[in-house]
Amino acid sequence: MARTLAADFDRDSQIDLGNSCVDAIGLVVNDFKAFGWQTGSCVFKSHSGHCVARAAK
């Protein structure tokens, strides 16, 4: 499944998840989108349960 969501996000003509942080992070973003992640959703919560960081718009 990773290959279908992977893309060449750093535009070096290769999908390189092992050596390109940009390609690897792009895969995670595509994975979140594929599973219904929405812009503005909480990304990180504090110990008290308050949202500390939200997905970028």
The whole-model pTM stands at 0.62
pLDDT of residue 15: 93
Domain ranges of the chain: 2-54
pLDDT of residue 38: 82
Q: Report which DSSP code applies to 57.
A: -
- Measured distance CA(34)–CA(26) in Å, rounded: 12
DSSP-H helix ranges across 1-57 = 2-5, 21-34
Is it the case that residue 4 has pLDDT exceeding 80?
no
Among residues 43, 44, 40, 42, which one has the least CA distance to residue 57?
40
pLDDT of residue 57: 60
pLDDT of residue 3: 55
Query: pLDDT by residue (tens digit) across 17-56?
Result: 999 999 998 888 888 888 888 888 888 889 898 998 887 7
- Measured distance CA(22)–CA(19) in Å, rounded: 9
